Amino acid sequence: MSVLPEHPDVDQARRRAKELLRAARAGDAESLARLAAVSAPLTLAGAQLTLAREFGQPSWAALVREIEARNASIPENVVRFLRSSINLQIGAAARMLHDDPALADSGFPAAVVLGDAGRVQAELRRDPGVATRVDLITGWSALHLVCASRFHLDPSRAPGLAEVTRMLLDAGADLDGKSAGRRCWRPLECAVTSANSSRNNEPIIRLLLDRGAPVRPETLLASLYAAGGTWCLELLTEHAPGEPELFTDALAEAVAEANLDAVRILLAAGANPDLPGPDDRSARRRALTAGVAATVELLGGAGDDPVDQLLEAIVTGDGATAHALVAADPALVGRVEPADQAALVAAAEHGNVASVRLMLELGFPTTARREGIDDDGATALHAAAYAGAAGTVEVLLAHGADLTARDTRWNAQPLEWALVGSGETPELATAPDWVATVTLLLDAGAPTDELIVGDGGPKQPSIRVVELLRSRGLNGNTET
């Protein structure tokens, strides 16, 4: 049985559960055995239950309560402030500080995330060990905290944060140390993840690079997830060794997200689109199944492989070439691997009706799913419904797409995806129409008994969709 640390962290426990699930889905024997030991399903809930049992708790909820009880001695407002300061809740952290200025004096970690260079310097003189000690609240070292702090968004605090970074490095902080409980999170990844278009934390990133922080595949990936455009990725590639393998994972992700600017930068840095990526599929093959013709063109097209040529014809909507290839080799569609059949899901998500119709004509199954390690198991109908691609939904329904299919991450049906999409309004399909999408799904007989609307949760439908549901008399099945 595992033993909880003195100051356990709920977020850390959640990350460990997700890591366990990813490893199990990737076929890791030890991870699969851990889930099997408690008869847990291969889901996030199953991984959480496994972790809870390993810590001697009967359920995930019980584990969370135990962790919260152990941390009760730490002032709750301080815990929330520090955690909010290093994630996307920086607005909440700023409001907390405004309402309670004493938080700035709550201890060394607060001084670090706020870039209070004077207080940090005084504490380093009093106790040099704080430069390397792990903070019990967050599980991070001071260098991780300052690099991850989102207070750099305040221009008045950005110079102080850069100065604190320099002080910690000069005092012996581990430039490349992993943060507790996070796989492959080092100071540079923390700084890169908090990158923003304001570029206020660029001095921190440059300082780490100048001091010798290595650029790893995960560093490049982190820059793709940041909200700062591609300036950070470009900076990292300038400091990275020109080894094609280093860029493979980032190129695969940039292709999957149709981030054309990032693809250009990575190719210029030496990325090879034909090297196998995280799931042994090359970036070129991913581009052919990502539903965006511009990405395929940027990588130089399909090459000589007939399957790749078929996928290129599909993504570009070239029906004549696609049908000609299949006529010349009737078994060609059968050689498209399940992972590549997910091209149907990508085309549906982007509202590419011509490609969706073409794939269905050629015999692609409507049951095709996104099934990578970190994918959600969505079918094409899920993806089109979420994107509000009403025309695509109509075509899929005409070909018998399953209204009751459930994704593998949230166990939700296409109608639920449409409701969430209407509230989040992702910019995926051209001219999305969630009212029309939901109407099509309801008219086709989509189940409504599991809908929960208006409960104040973060994933609420749009007002127009809620009005539609009410007009259909669904109040009895929804919490409105």
CB of 480 closer than 8 Å to CB of 453: yes
Report the b/e string of 326-344 with b at 16+ CB within 10 A: beeeeebbeebeebbbbbb
pTM for the model stands at 0.70
The pLDDT assigned to 215 comes to 96
The pLDDT assigned to 259 comes to 92
Provide block-wise average pLDDT over 10 residues at a time, the chain (480 residues).
Answer: 58 85 90 92 92 87 79 74 86 93 92 96 91 72 94 95 98 87 75 90 97 95 87 96 92 90 96 88 88 88 90 91 95 91 92 93 94 82 97 97 95 95 90 96 93 66 92 60
Residue 196 dihedral angles phi and psi, to the nearest 5° = -145, 160
Strand-pairing partners, residue 369, are: 379
CB of 190 closer than 8 Å to CB of 179: yes
The pLDDT assigned to 400 comes to 97
CB of 146 closer than 8 Å to CB of 165: yes
Q: What is the Cα–Cα distance from 42 to 377, expressed in whole angstroms?
A: 13
Query: Can you give the length of the chain in residues?
Result: 480
The residues, any chain, with a CB within 8 Å of residue 413's CB and separated by 6 or more, are: 382, 403, 404, 405, 406, 446, 447, 450
Residue written as tokens 């290093």?
Answer: 86
The pLDDT assigned to 10 comes to 78
One-letter amino acid identity for 140? Answer: W
| Tokens at 392, concatenated | 């695509």
The pLDDT assigned to 135 comes to 66
Tell me the CATH number for domain 372-477. 1.25.40.20
**CA Rg value for the chain:** 25
DSSP string for 100-141: -GGGGGS-HHHHHHHT-HHHHHHHHHH-GGGGTPBPTTTS-B
Helical ranges in 135-282 per DSSP H? 142-148, 158-170, 187-193, 202-210, 217-225, 231-239, 248-256, 260-269
457 alpha carbon, distance to own chain's centre: 20
The pLDDT assigned to 182 comes to 44
